[in-house]
Amino acid sequence: MKPVLSVIGTGYLGATHAACMSSLGFTVIGIDNDAAKVAQLSRGELPFYEPDLENLLRAEIASGRLTFTTDFSAALSADVHFVCVGTPQMENSLAADLTYVRGAITALAPHLKSGALVVGKSTVPVGTAQALAAQLSVSAPHADLAWNPEFLREGFAIEDTLRPNRLVVGVTNDRAEEILKEVYAPILELGTPWIRADLPTSELVKVAANSFLATKISFINAMAEICEAAGGDVTILAEAIGYDPRIGNKFLQAGIGFGGGCLPKDIRAFMARAEELGAQQALEFLREIDAINMRARARVIDVVRSMLTSDLTLYKIAVLGAAFKPESDDVRDSPALDIAAQLHAAGALVTIHDPKAMASAGKRFPSLNFAESAQDCVSGADIVLHLTEWREYREIDPVHFKTLVKTPLIIDGRNALDRKKWVAAGWTFHALGRKN
């Protein structure tokens, strides 16, 4: 008999995990205290955009294996419980807010049957799992706790869940590892590397991976600053260093930097935790990584001012892209939306377009102006800013777009457009980290 699974928290991570585990043949109960979200998911509607996930969700609900509820007592029928709730940045500090994780364990504890395994997937500060295990040993001594960080990228959520680069499990005994091996058997059969660790190491793997990725992006953005100062070209530099397999060519795309629900908050929470541990010096460099990242946004605004005038009042600025990256409608800490909001605050008349993220962007910044299409967005613009590299924008015909704008000025904030084509069409084209 396959173990029955519950997934606590049905946001991005939880909804994906629940649908994917169901697709592997498990009975999965998704539990969330947000009744509206549960109702929506039960109807087969995804509360966010993720390629192919809504189809998978519908198929799994139709199979009868996947259900959603607000009732924690439903957990009683499950053997393994994946905790997938959010750990956002606290409002008044860099640290992660653990309210939801603690709340999930407290709500779950009375409904754990003997031998149940609680598996944390949320990204947490190191030491959290051990503290939660201590909490469970009092409230549900017959249950066990493990940690199993997720590494899924938005836009590739299904792929990263069903075909991950590796599976990492933090466990305190062999039985917990055996249960997790059984749950992940179909994925292990694909040859996926399996890494057993202790609880703190498994928590650290996640934040270390995200810190490394953030470092790579800020490194190339620092090189972009140098290239601009020295008259070099960061895209050629990135290609050239990327051929060294020790460096690799991924995550070296210079531009307006990283955003989203993970990288920015994870590096900040990591610094905050290191300070609590008295090891802050070890992560001092992350402060600089964060600063370089935020500077990339400020640099775009400086370029806008240099291309127009320092007083931006009443200039019409078209912003293409609001999501923090393409194939997502997520605007959490989105560099594109942040830049748009700053330009708006500086008095410019900003119009934004995004293929998927208009609703989420509108909710965050209701005072901003949104256009139904990229063409409407740039109509009459004094300058166009390309800030999220959707395929739709790469396929724009610059000759046609030149007829729509007031002045053919464009800043490519993602180094993703074909500069030759735009210049040939008569645009003044500014790219970050390149000769302009």
Instruction: Measure Cα distances from 22 to 30, 145, 374 in Å.
Output: 10, 22, 38
Rg (CA), the chain: 23
CB of 155 to ligand UDX, least distance (A): 7
Q: How many residues bind ligand UDX (CB under 6 A)?
A: 20
**Residue 252 near ligand UDX by CB under 6 A:** yes
Could you tell me the sign of the dihedral formed by the alpha carbons of 134, 140, 143, 149, in that order? negative
**Which of 205, 184, 385, 218 minimizes the C-alpha distance to 288?**
218
Lookup result for tokens 């609590």: 276
Q: Which residues, at least 6 apart from 359, have a Cβ–Cβ distance to it below 8 Å?
A: 329
**Residue 412 near ligand UDX by CB under 6 A:** no
Task: Clarify whether 262 is annotated catalytic.
Answer: yes
Q: Kindly tell me which residue out of 255, 398, 413, 433 binds ligand UDX, with binding defined by CB under 6 A.
A: 255
Q: Of the two residues 78 and 207, which places its CB atom closer to ligand UDX in the complex?
A: 207
CB of 390 to ligand UDX, least distance (A): 11
**Residue 151 near ligand UDX by CB under 6 A:** yes
Q: Of the two residues 42 and 253, which places its CB atom closer to ligand UDX in the complex?
A: 253
Distance CA(351)–CA(344), nearest Å, equals: 9
- Which of 20, 84, 262, 377 does the annotation list as catalytic? 262
Distance CA(224)–CA(237), nearest Å, equals: 9
**Residue 86 near ligand UDX by CB under 6 A:** no
Distance CA(202)–CA(122), nearest Å, equals: 11
Burial environment of residue 91 by CB neighbours within 10 A (0 to 12, 13 to 18, 19 or more): exposed
Q: Kindly tell me which residue out of 153, 181, 196, 287 binds ligand UDX, with binding defined by CB under 6 A.
A: 153
Q: Of the two residues 86 and 260, which places its CB atom closer to ligand UDX in the complex?
A: 260
CB of 380 to ligand UDX, least distance (A): 28
**Residue 285 near ligand UDX by CB under 6 A:** no
* Stretch 187-226: interaction string toward ligand UDX, x if CB under 6 A: -----------------------x--x---x---------
**Residue 267 near ligand UDX by CB under 6 A:** no
Q: Kindly tell me which residue out of 26, 49, 258, 315 binds ligand UDX, with binding defined by CB under 6 A.
A: 258
Helices then strands, each counted (H, E), the chain:
18, 14
Would you list the DSSP string of 389-424? Answer: --HHHHT--HHHHHTTSSS-EEEETTS-S-HHHHHH
Interface positions with ligand UDX (CB under 6 A): 150-154, 210, 213, 217, 251-253, 255, 257-260, 262-263, 324-325
- Among all residues, which ones are annotated catalytic? 262
